[in-house]
Structure 1
Amino acid sequence: MKKIFMLAAALVAMETAQAQSELSNASTTGRGGVQNTFVRDYQAIGVNPANLGFGAPTVSFTFLEGGLNVSSQAFTRTIIKDFSKIEDERTLAMEDRLRYAKAFTSDNVLNAGVDMNTFAIAVYLPKVGGFGFSNRQRILGHAGFNKNFSELLFLGQEAPVVQQTNEDERVYVHELFDGTELKASWVNEWNLSYGRKLVSLPAVAIYAGVGYRYLQGLALYELSAKDGEVKAYSASSPVLDFDYERYLDDPQFRYGGANNQLSPVGKGHGYDVGLSAEIAKTVKVSLSVTDMGSMRWSKNLLQGQDKGFYLSDIISAEEYDFEDVADVAQQIIDTALAFTPVNELKTDLPTRFRAGVGAKLGNKVEVGVDYVHALNNAPGNLSQDFFGLGVDVMPTSFFRFSTGVSTGAGEKLNLPIGIAFIAQSYEFGISTRDITAPLTENNPGASFAFAFLRFKIGNQESL
């Protein structure tokens, strides 16, 4: 496997346990992910399509609205400072290597992701309902190392497991690296949603909606060893420039994308359903199930077999630097696993149940409470239930302040902040999921979402 891919998978990739779809929505990020009763127009796509039936504005659209997130339970601010210092000095002292080997023994070494609406639009027709369409790029992944894997990365032949193992003893991934996970994916989504009002009574209005998404997989990587089972897969679009030449003559290998750099190596279909209610034009209730469906990866697909290997085959340098850490990671994968072509791999989508209750407090304040629960164990689903309280405040007609508090989904308590400047037909906003994350010593992180080109046309409400 290519070193550049191992670097991306091992040190920048993430399982999507931390990934929430709000990163493609700057205002939702400013509420810490609380969105079920707040979102309307195209922002309801993937959350609750019924909210498209709420109405105003008549037309809304955006370009390049999205965000990114990085978090870690292994890094500390001290380690990050050490990295920048050691990067200049190049060589890692044994004292540092021992410290990093201990710190990086974690289920969540690094979680990071990018979620971007390249384009999204919603149109509301009073007698028909609301339609939403979007194209979204989602890059997600996760890295978690057990003690043996982390020590091999940073200590090489000095790792205790090497010293305790005979040179002629064959070891296996499922035993040696149990608890280690490296996962990454890149998916191109095409979304279409529809919502409309079903019931209209003097005090209650009920809305329903459905959503469909066509998924194109551009990259997939997984290496996980859990409970005696090893999963190892790799599939990549030509844009990532992998060399598949050695597999072209294998009848099991389905080569894809020779003439198209963004040719997908996987395809799938997803579905959303939702219900919303508005009571006395003040209180909203939202229920939805999202991401039902699956993907099938069938091109440029390789599967790794746990063939066993000798620890003495892992070569490490006498003077260690970060490039040597990457070299050892690549050696472990290439030595421990034998990759062969396979025809197909099916992965379920991370199906979730979403619920929310919100209320308008006058014309300037809206509050909401969200709950999200994973309905399966698919890659990318929540590791824990998500809870959040979000608030939007509009002290003036052209400025909105968002904040709240959220927790769960594998994260600590988040304190989000978002601001938006609103003109008649244009909105600009920036936000972060947790204002304290870059400042904490332990479990530092960073998130940033932006909406620089968000437009609205037609009748609009104050919130």
Structure 2
Amino acid sequence: MKRIWMLALAFMALHTTTFAQTEYNNINTTGRGGVGTTFSGGYQAIGINPANISRSRYTLSFSFLEGGFGVSSRAFTKDIIHDFRNTTPNQEVSLANREYYAKAFTSNDVLNIGADLQTFAISVNLPKIGGFAFSNRQRVLGHAGFNKNFSELLFLGEHAPVVKESDPNEPVYVSELFDGTELKASWVNEWNISYGRRLVSLPAFKIFGGVGYRYIQGLALYEFSAKNGEVKAYSTASPILNVDYGQYLDDPLFNHNEANNILSPVGKGHGFDIGLSAEVAKIVKLGVSVADIGAMRWTENLLVGQDKGFLVSDIESNGNYDFENAMDMAEQIIDTAMHFTALDELRTDLPTRFRAGVGLKVSNKVELGLDYVKALNNAPGNLTQDFIGLGVDVMPSPFIRLSSGVSTGAGDKVNLPLGIAFVTPVYEFGLSTRDITAPYTKSNPGASLAFAFMRFKIGKLPL
């Protein structure tokens, strides 16, 4: 398959400005390192806990162009990023450096990327009826992990130990040679609608429930993985990504989408969220939810790969090794190892996650929250490890809200988030990051940024 477009996208994002995942469309949640199960209300609760929609303090809230992006890695270092950014096309990289890269990139978490853009969102809270929220967002998620053989072939080519150890005339199989390797990515356009309302109301105890539905337009999907003897390889991309499918056009199983629309989907799906939350004495908050229950059906520009065996000796590398060669080598490895054919339909699960949280309102100016998030399947874009985080919101003045905390998991290191928002009775804007230390660490650096400049709220409700 000519050009591993999603892998190239991931590396290009890192080559320009370094792009993890979980709710970058929410500056408050990002500023707490991903903690939001008990904090989020109104439209900010979409995808987190729909039960909280009816806990908004305002009759009407809305936002435009709110989003963010981030990247995390346990393989990259500042030195490696510097090398990749500064290697010229004609500059040869030494074998010693390539051996160093091969060792560094033997990792379950070579790269985790994520980007969210919420084009608009609105919520209405009617205390006797409940809360309604609606939004549209673009979401990109990706993950890369390489086992030792894949990483060594990627950087060493015919100099990789596996080439020397293999019989040049004996075929090998992806299921064995690359076990533990994963390349996964997805890009979707979501239309969300959620509803939440108060279920129990006592003087010192309240329970809220909520449900959410999303219609999903799939714009791209890629997976190449080998896990416990099972191999998965498929790809599909909207025409906007300009992938060349010429060699498959005559195949009756290939449903070609060449529409000129800006966002022309190649798959469609439906997702659901459910959640419960509780409030005790207006001080303690509890919440549980399950998000992204459902599946996608991909039907256009779809290719699937079969593990039919290949000769390791067919892998070749360029002596003038540079950054572009790394992408070319990844493409060559997968094109050599897999046989791709057209497919008329593929069903994939959404990245279903379980969330649980507990919050404590210390005072009118300080609120704490503890979150735990667990992936419930291995779908493209899901968390690779459990997430846990402690978040705090502080109001040092009526017009400034500071967010921070500590979080870890989801393929990431320990993060120290920070967010700042300027708040008025009707308008709010702010910036936040999942880890303020990430750009300055020598090992495993990363970066993230969430932004909101057009948040509005009307009609404050009594507590």
TM-score when normalising by structure 2:
0.94
CA contact under 8 A between 1:184 and 1:220: conserved in structure 2?
A: yes
Match of 2:11 in 1: 11
Alpha-carbon distance in structure 1 between the residues aligned to 2:292 and 2:76 = 32
How is 1:289-300 mapped onto 2 (pairs within 5 angstroms)? Answer: 289-300=290-301
Match of 1:423 in 2: 424
Q: Which amino acid letter does the alignment assign opposite residue 103 of structure 2?
A: K
The size of the alignment, in residue pairs, is 459
Q: Which amino acid letter does the alignment assign opposite residue 427 of structure 1?
A: E
1:114-157 Cα deviation digits (max 9, x unpaired): 11211111111232211100111111111111222111121122
How is 1:190-209 mapped onto 2 (pairs within 5 angstroms)? Answer: 190-209=191-210
Match of 1:32 in 2: 33
How is 1:404-415 mapped onto 2 (pairs within 5 angstroms)? Answer: 404-415=405-416
CA contact under 8 A between 2:74 and 2:412: conserved in structure 1?
A: no
CA contact under 8 A between 2:211 and 2:275: conserved in structure 1?
A: yes
Q: Secondary structure at the match of 2:158?
A: helix
Q: 1:144 to 1:383 in 2, by over 3 A?
A: closer
Q: 1:238 to 1:261 in 2, by over 3 A?
A: farther
Instruction: Give the drift of 1:391.
Output: 0.7
Alpha-carbon distance in structure 1 between the residues aligned to 2:183 and 2:383 = 17
Alpha-carbon distance in structure 1 between the residues aligned to 2:330 and 2:272 = 38
TM-score when normalising by structure 1:
0.94
Q: Which amino acid letter does the alignment assign opposite residue 5 of structure 1?
A: W
Q: 1:316 to 1:20 in 2, by over 3 A?
A: closer
Q: Secondary structure at the match of 1:162?
A: helix
1:307-332 Cα deviation digits (max 9, x unpaired): 22223322322222222222222211
CA contact under 8 A between 2:72 and 2:411: conserved in structure 1?
A: no
How is 1:51-450 mapped onto 2 (pairs within 5 angstroms)? Answer: 51-87=52-88, 90-450=91-451
Alpha-carbon distance in structure 2 between the residues aligned to 1:386 and 1:10 = 22
CA contact under 8 A between 1:9 and 1:182: conserved in structure 2?
A: no
Q: Which amino acid letter does the alignment assign opposite residue 23 of structure 1?
A: Y
Alpha-carbon distance in structure 2 between the residues aligned to 1:460 and 1:86 = 58
Instruction: Give the drift of 1:10.
Output: 6.5
Instruction: Give the drift of 1:23.
Output: 1.1
Greater CA drift, 56-65 or 255-264 = 255-264
Alpha-carbon distance in structure 1 between the residues aligned to 2:226 and 2:48 = 32
Alpha-carbon distance in structure 1 between the residues aligned to 2:219 and 2:368 = 38
Q: Secondary structure at the match of 2:87?
A: helix
CA contact under 8 A between 1:67 and 1:449: conserved in structure 2?
A: yes
CA contact under 8 A between 2:29 and 2:35: conserved in structure 1?
A: yes
Q: Which amino acid letter does the alignment assign opposite residue 388 of structure 2?
A: F
Q: Secondary structure at the match of 2:460?
A: coil
Q: Secondary structure at the match of 1:23?
A: coil
Q: Which amino acid letter does the alignment assign opposite residue 248 of structure 2?
A: Y
Alpha-carbon distance in structure 1 between the residues aligned to 2:166 and 2:5 = 29
Alpha-carbon distance in structure 2 between the residues aligned to 1:330 and 1:301 = 18
Instruction: Give the drift of 1:74.
Output: 0.8
Alpha-carbon distance in structure 2 between the residues aligned to 1:420 and 1:249 = 55
Greater CA drift, 227-236 or 166-175 = 166-175
Instruction: Give the drift of 1:250.
Output: 1.4
Moved over 6 A (4+): none
1:339-362 Cα deviation digits (max 9, x unpaired): 111122111122222222212222
Q: Which amino acid letter does the alignment assign opposite residue 171 of structure 1?
A: V
CA contact under 8 A between 1:194 and 1:210: conserved in structure 2?
A: yes
Q: 1:84 to 1:55 in 2, by over 3 A?
A: closer
Q: 1:324 to 1:233 in 2, by over 3 A?
A: same
CA contact under 8 A between 1:9 and 1:141: conserved in structure 2?
A: no
Query: Which consecutive unaligned segments of at least 5 residues does structure 2 have?
Result: none
Instruction: Give the drift of 1:91.
Output: 2.2
CA contact under 8 A between 1:6 and 1:329: conserved in structure 2?
A: no
Q: CA RMSD in A?
A: 2.1
Q: 1:130 to 1:416 in 2, by over 3 A?
A: same
1:353-383 Cα deviation digits (max 9, x unpaired): 2222212222111111112233333333333
CA contact under 8 A between 1:6 and 1:326: conserved in structure 2?
A: no
Q: 1:194 to 1:235 in 2, by over 3 A?
A: same
Alpha-carbon distance in structure 2 between the residues aligned to 1:285 and 1:39 = 12
CA contact under 8 A between 2:142 and 2:380: conserved in structure 1?
A: no
Greater CA drift, 390-399 or 356-365 = 356-365
CA contact under 8 A between 1:21 and 1:115: conserved in structure 2?
A: no
Match of 1:48 in 2: 49
Match of 1:452 in 2: 453
CA contact under 8 A between 1:19 and 1:380: conserved in structure 2?
A: no
Query: What percent of counterpart residues are identical?
Result: 67
Greater CA drift, 281-290 or 417-426 = 281-290
CA contact under 8 A between 1:285 and 1:356: conserved in structure 2?
A: yes
CA contact under 8 A between 1:13 and 1:110: conserved in structure 2?
A: no
Q: Secondary structure at the match of 1:153?
A: helix
Q: Which amino acid letter does the alignment assign opposite residue 3 of structure 2?
A: K
Instruction: Give the drift of 1:106.
Output: 1.3
Greater CA drift, 3-12 or 420-429 = 3-12
Alpha-carbon distance in structure 2 between the residues aligned to 1:183 and 1:205 = 41
Q: Secondary structure at the match of 1:22?
A: coil
Instruction: Give the drift of 1:400.
Output: 0.5
Alpha-carbon distance in structure 1 between the residues aligned to 2:269 and 2:175 = 30
CA contact under 8 A between 1:90 and 1:322: conserved in structure 2?
A: no
1:186-206 Cα deviation digits (max 9, x unpaired): 011110001112222211222
CA contact under 8 A between 2:84 and 2:322: conserved in structure 1?
A: no
CA contact under 8 A between 1:203 and 1:281: conserved in structure 2?
A: yes
Q: 1:314 to 1:20 in 2, by over 3 A?
A: closer
CA contact under 8 A between 1:104 and 1:150: conserved in structure 2?
A: yes
Alpha-carbon distance in structure 2 between the residues aligned to 1:109 and 1:354 = 25
CA contact under 8 A between 1:55 and 1:126: conserved in structure 2?
A: no
Alpha-carbon distance in structure 2 between the residues aligned to 1:10 and 1:42 = 30
Q: Which amino acid letter does the alignment assign opposite residue 232 of structure 2?
A: K
